[in-house]
Structure 1
């Protein structure tokens, strides 16, 4: 009887795990996976949740990029981190997407911030592949959720490593062009690379939303900026891509700081690539 009960419990646990993180190519399924991830952290602890939801090669920026499972192997299993997505998108190929929103860390004092997570679908379930966050003051305004579903579905039937490498090079070249333009024209260069509804998450500030507001934000404090791309990836649907790397920022106050960043790009109708989300977190030298 005891053995039968144990088998029943194991089977129930396995069944629950099979449904958790399930991907059907929709943004709704990704948001559900993110919410399950946050609920798991609250119930079982942050370490357990990241180990359960992260891909084996996932990177977390704490503050510099490190393998998620390696990092959390030495961390306590705290239950003091809560978060919720308020912006999410998934590629038309359904193979990867991203979520972002606010988080709260309870300690001696409460810490507030914003996060960005990149997810990939693997064997029918969502796995976390990149996660980073940055702190800001207590939000003054609640963000209105914006979960955008893919406009259609497209995934090439055929593809090889050479083609994927070529697609990745397109994104890296785009960011090299952005960097060269930043050197020539300063932060005004972002005017040619930002979507009208782009978002920027920068330490100490609530998300800045909208092309004009972002350019005004950069102009208010940044003198120069340079980017060093470390890696990039592009969805097989060809509509979304991300990069991560290190940004050196010279402020107008004669101060320089280095930041790790993740940028999300969207392909436009003319096949150019525009930024739709940027997040920076201080880098550790």
Structure 2
């Protein structure tokens, strides 16, 4: 009887482990969770993988934000989507992190793109809370991995609702300032908000990496941009934050288009918040 109980517990543990990777606060554990997520999609289907790895209340942008479990409840369990993380970071508090990389969709015609996923540590396991992607042509640039481990561990002893709300307010204020600066100075305003190694994922283009290249990219096609924040969250470690919302872009060709976006911010030594990752995906009205 005892052996039967032990075997049952071991089987349950293995089953849970297959659905969500334990987190030890490292970027390595998050990358492993992403890779196991992709492996499950290849083996059992995309619907099964998302149902197993997404948190309750998670949002997927398909193309507008929708509850992940609600969306995949009505989707076929296809095995035609594959992806691999190439960039990942985790907050020094270990409570959330993000991954991004290339994906391939094998439909009637093969398509390619880049994705960004935000993960949170829930009950000791990584669970997906945000996911979106932007399609582009077949990749021409070589892929290099960049997985950044937290520089140390820090989590405040007291982090109640008031502290969490105050942290979100800081990020909302930062993005409100970004929007006001864009309205006043145009796309050049990004120069004051981008990290030197920032990345942009934009539909139709492979990732643009580096502040100077991003500014040149924006200047080449964007006349004006405005952003409206819908949601935000800040890591308890105080080093990383993300926002999502709607960006309205006026192109130099006198066309206007709306996008859903997710921005990732990092706090700098001077306590300013700089963008380290941006992704846009077309929004449906």
| TM-score normalized with structure 2 length | 0.96
Q: Measure, in 2, the Cα distance between the counterparts of 1:278 and 1:199.
A: 6
Residues 134-192 of structure 1: CA deviation (Å, up to 9, x unaligned): 10000002210000000000000112111111110000000000000000111100000
Q: Output aligned runs, 1:1-285, within 5 Å.
A: 8=7, 11-18=10-17, 20-285=20-285
- RMSD of the TM alignment (CA)? 1.7
Q: Which runs of 5+ in 2 are unaligned?
A: none
User: What's the secondary structure of 2:257's corresponding residue?
Assistant: strand
Q: Which moved more, 1:81-90 or 1:7-16?
A: 7-16
Structure 1 position 9, deviation (Å): 7.2
Q: Measure, in 1, the Cα distance between the counterparts of 2:134 and 2:160.
A: 36
Q: Which moved more, 1:8-17 or 1:239-248?
A: 8-17
Q: Measure, in 1, the Cα distance between the counterparts of 2:91 and 2:181.
A: 28
Structure 1 position 231, deviation (Å): 0.6
Q: Measure, in 2, the Cα distance between the counterparts of 1:197 and 1:124.
A: 31
Give aligned pairs, total.
283
Q: Measure, in 2, the Cα distance between the counterparts of 1:5 and 1:45.
A: 32
Structure 1 position 6, deviation (Å): 12
Structure 1 position 21, deviation (Å): 1.1
Residues 25-62 of structure 1: CA deviation (Å, up to 9, x unaligned): 00000000000000000001000000000000100000
Residues 191-214 of structure 1: CA deviation (Å, up to 9, x unaligned): 000000000000000000000000
Q: Which runs of 5+ in 1 are unaligned?
A: none
Structure 1 position 236, deviation (Å): 0.1
Q: Measure, in 1, the Cα distance between the counterparts of 2:191 and 2:123.
A: 39
Q: Measure, in 2, the Cα distance between the counterparts of 1:68 and 1:275.
A: 26
**4+ runs deviating over 4 angstroms:** 4-11
Structure 1 position 18, deviation (Å): 3.2
Residues 227-284 of structure 1: CA deviation (Å, up to 9, x unaligned): 0000100000000000000000000000000000000000000100000000000000
Structure 1 position 83, deviation (Å): 0.1
